[in-house]
Amino acid sequence: MERPAIAGGKPVRETKIFYGHQYIDEDDIQAVVDVLKSDYLTCGPKITELEQKLCELTGANYAVVCSNGTAALHIAALSASVGEGDEVITTPITFAASANCALYCGARPVFVDINPETYNIDPQKVEEAITPRTKAVVAVDYTGQSVDLAPLLKICKEHNLTLIEDGAHVIGTKYNGQMNGSIADMTMFSFHPVKTVTGGEGGVILTNEEALYKKLLLFRSHGITRDVEQMRHEPEGPWYYEQVELGYNYRMTDMQAALIISQLDKLPMFIRRRKEIVAKYNEAFSNMPELFVQREIPESDTTRHLYILRIVSEKLTIDRKEFFEALGAENICCNVHYIPVYYFPYYEKLGYHKGLCPHAEKLYEEIITLPLYYAMSDADVESVIEAVKKIVAFYRR
Ligand X SMILES: *Cc1c(COP(=O)(O)O)cnc(C)c1O
Site for ligand X, rule CB under 6 A: 68-70, 94-95, 97-98, 140, 166, 168-169, 190, 192, 203
Tell me the CA distances in angstroms from 68 to 167, 168, 192, 251, 338, one per residue in order.
13, 10, 7, 9, 20
For ligand X, which residue has the nearest CB? 69
Secondary element (H or E) of residue 242 = strand 242-243
Least spacing, CB of residue 217 vs ligand X, in Å: 19
Q: How far is the CB of 95 from ligand X (least distance, A)?
A: 4
Smallest separation (angstroms) from ligand X to the CB of 332: 21
Cβ atoms within 10 Å, residue 262: 21
Measured from the CB of residue 103, what is the shortest distance to ligand X in angstroms?
Answer: 14
Query: Do 150 and 127 contact (CB within 8 A), yes or no?
Result: no
Q: How far is CA 264 from the centre of its chain?
A: 17
Residue 92 CB, shortest distance to ligand X, in Å, is 12
Q: Which is nearer to ligand X, 139 or 376 (CB)?
A: 139
Shorter beta-carbon distance to ligand X: residue 318 or 360: 360
Residue 166 or 361 having the CB closest to ligand X: 166
Q: What residue type is assigned to position 334 of the chain?
A: C
Looking at residue 393, what DSSP letter applies?
A: H
Report the distance separating Cα 395 and Cα 381, nearest Å: 22
3-class DSSP assignment, residue 134: strand
CB of 256 to ligand X, least distance (A): 11
Instruction: Report the chain's terminal Cα–Cα distance, integer Å.
Output: 31
Q: Residue 98 CB, nearest distance to ligand X (Å)?
A: 5
The answer to whether the bond into 338 is cis (omega within 30° of 0) is yes
Nearest approach, Cβ of 122 to ligand X (angstroms)? Answer: 17
State the SS3 of 29-91. HHHHHHHHCCCCCECCHHHHHHHHHHHHHHCCCEEEEECCHHHHHHHHHHHCCCCCCCEEEEC
Which CB, 89 or 388, lies closer to ligand X? 89
Torsion, CA 316, CA 317, CA 318, CA 319, rounded to 10: 60
- Sheet of 62-66: strands edge to edge? 62-66, 203-207, 186-190, 162-166, 134-140, 87-90, 108-111
Which C-beta is closer to ligand X: that of 147 or that of 392?
A: 147
Instruction: Transcribe 150-215 into DSSP letters.
Output: HHHHHHHHHTT-EEEEE-TTTTT-EETTEETTSSSSEEEEE--TTSSS--SS-EEEEES-HHHHHH
What's the rounded Cα separation, in Å, for the pair 301 and 194? 21
Q: Output the smallest distance, CB 168 to ligand X, in A.
A: 3
Phi, psi dihedral angles at 316 (to 5 degrees)? -130, 155
CB of 189 to ligand X, least distance (A): 9
Q: Residue 276 CB: number of other CB atoms within 10 A?
A: 13
Nearer to ligand X, 58 or 100 (CB): 100
Cβ of residue 282: shortest distance to ligand X, in angstroms? Answer: 22
- What is the β-pairing status of strands 307-311 and 291-292? antiparallel
Closer CB to ligand X, 69 or 109, in the complex: 69
Distance (Å, whole) CA 192 – CA 198 = 5
